[in-house]
Structures are given as C-alpha cells and as structure tokens.
Structure 1
Amino acid sequence: MKRSQLIAGATAMAVLATAFGAASVAEAKPGKGGHRGHGPEMTFEQLDANGDGKITAEDLAAAKAARFAEADTNGDGALSAEELQAQADARRADRVEKMIERMDANGDGVLSMEEMEAGRGDRGDRGDRGGRMISRMDTDGDGAVSAEEFEAAKAKMAERRGGKRHGEADTRSE
C-alpha cells in the first residue's frame, strides 16, 4: 500500500473519531480537563435532538448523523479524505480561536510568551510541567537531570507500561 494511502487512511480514522466523538460526550465520564470525547463539547440542547428535555439513544444517533452530514459537504453519503481533513482543520481552528480568547490578556489577538505561560497556570498542577519533570527525575537532588537520571526515568516509565514504549499497543495477556 502506498504511503499516501496509509496517511489518508490514518487521517480518515482520526477525523471519524473526532466527528463521532461528540455524540459519546453524553456517555463519557468527565476527566480532570472536562469531557473525554474527542470532538468539541456539545451542549445538552445540541444532543437533545427532539427537544424533549432528555437525551436518549435516538438523540445520540441523530447527533451522529448530523455531524456526518455536516462533514459530507458534497452530500454523497461518504467522507473523502478532503472532507475529513477539512473537518479536522475546522475543529483545530476553532480550538485555536478559543485558546486565544481565553489566554489573550491584553486583547491584541495574539499570544505572547507571558500570556502563554500565564494561561497554563489556570490548569492547576499542569502549569509547571518542566519543574515537576525535573523534580521527579532528579534523584541526586542537584536541580538538574543527568543523562543517567533521564535513562533511569525512561526505564521506570517503560516498566510501568509493561515494557512498551509510548504509543505501542499493550500485548500483555490478561
């Protein structure tokens, strides 16, 4: 299979997960950062397709169908790589706009380094990832991570994941 076909297929799968993830928002358990769905967070009103004040399986199916129809810009009942990419690009653009709105302290429409750093602070303990990483890996307490400390931390993380590297499937039998 050609590499471009593999990339298009992977992109299609990722965007499909995004396109249909919003309907699962009502079923998803919220995590630290909000919902676990892959798409933009949908409101109750958007999910309650028939407007009866309840979200049912039929409402979720209708939301999925609406999301698919929105992505199917040529109306042929199928999503091409171009349609999937356009949908993904629109979602990314929306996320970027919301991030700028949230973090742009001086209202100039762009984010400075200071605004980016200040904006990370509103995420609680996720704000200073670098400092937390160093404190976890710095076993000799000198305020820096040596190559040996770094490799030891990598090995410890791999051990916690059952020997697999980041992104690999877990092949352990249960």
Structure 2
Amino acid sequence: MRKAAFIAVILGTASIVTTGAVLAKGGPGGQGPRMSFEEIDADGNGEVTQAEMDAMKAARFAASDTDGDGVLSLEELTAQGVKSVAERTEKMLAQRDTNGDGVLSPDEMTNSRRAGKMLERFDTDGNGSISKEEFEEASNRMRQRGKGQHRPGQKPGTETEQN
C-alpha cells in the first residue's frame, strides 16, 4: 500500500508541474486542452468556425484567470494544475480499481493494456534486454511524438494511446 501511495504522489507531483507548463503553452502541441466537437460547436449547427474555436479558447483561459487580470499567474496555473490532476487521478482510480475497494494495489497500478510492454517496445534487437542505445532511441521517439509526430503506422489526427 505504501508503495502504491508513493507512486501516486510522484505521478501527481509530476502531473502538476507538467500541467502548468502545458497550460502556459496553450495545451499539448499548443492546441489547448482536449474538448469535444459539441463543446466547440457553440451554435450547434454541426460545423466549427474559427470564431467558435477562439471563443472556446478565451473561455478556458478566463476560467483559469480567477482574478480577471488577463494573465495567468503561477498561483492560477498551479490551481488549474491541481484541478486537472485531481480529475485525472479520480478517473485513474475509477478505471483501475478492479476490486472496488477505493484504493489501488500495486497489481491494479500496473493493470493496463500497456503494462509489461515497455521492454517489448524498447528492445528493438529482441534480445530480452534494453541497451543504453535502445533506451535513448526510444526516449527520442517519445520526445518526437510529443512534438506532434506519430508512431509508425499511426495516421495523423488520431490520438496517441495515453496511460
């Protein structure tokens, strides 16, 4: 239990820091937080205009700008980050708490489609271990995906699987 709690704290802290940076840039890839088509299509006509996208972006910014001064302070970014982390951790608990006890065991923390696949993905020569070179290559691939590039075979515009 202690190990799972420790991991959750580390993940939460990392998410807070990351969320602040993401909000400052306007979201992943500079595109802002993910939202549904229906949220953006304010007039409900089945088409999204630039004006509707700009309005949604302005509304999200205004919601984070709690003092209304037109800029986001460290405190406002942190508050938004804490809110985002809380929402993500609630979702993670709901998804992974397979026995419904309200807490995550170490087994439930690794209970995902991607668990155990890191070695497979990183071990490009198939020898059952990851060399420093393989690790660095995989890290570079992940960084490139963070810059808008996609996995081999993944079509542009499709979401990358998140854990």
Q: Does the 8 Å CA contact 2:97/2:103 hold for their aligned counterparts? A: yes
Aligned CA-pair RMSD? 3.4
1:96 aligns with 2:128: no
Aligned to 1:53: 46
Gaps of 5+ in 1: 1-9, 25-37, 168-174
Match for residue 104 of structure 2 among 84, 100, 111: 111
Q: CA deviation at 1:131?
A: 3.9
Question: Residues of 2 paired with 1:86 and 1:23: CA distance?
Answer: 20
Q: Does the 8 Å CA contact 1:23/1:47 hold for their aligned counterparts? A: no
- Aligned residue pair count: 125
Q: Deviations over 1:23-54 (max 9, x none)?
A: 94xxxxxxxxxxxxx62x31222111233322
Question: Residues of 2 paired with 1:63 and 1:46: CA distance?
Answer: 8
1:150 aligns with 2:131: yes
1:63 aligns with 2:44: no
Q: Does the 8 Å CA contact 2:93/2:104 hold for their aligned counterparts? A: yes
TM-score, with length taken from structure 1:
0.57
| Identical aligned residues as a percent | 37
Distance 1:103 1:13, change over 3 A: closer
Question: Which of structures 1 and 2 has the bigger CA Rg?
Answer: 1
Q: CA deviation at 1:111?
A: 1.1
Aligned to 2:37: 44
Q: Does the 8 Å CA contact 1:137/1:150 hold for their aligned counterparts? A: no
1:85 aligns with 2:66: no
Higher relative contact order (CA 8 A, sep 6+): 2
Q: CA deviation at 1:104?
A: 1.1
Please identify, of 87-96 and 127-136, the stretch whose mean Cα deviation from structure 2 is larger: 127-136
Q: CA deviation at 1:117?
A: 2.5
Q: Does the 8 Å CA contact 1:71/1:83 hold for their aligned counterparts? A: yes
Gaps of 5+ in 2: 1-17, 145-163
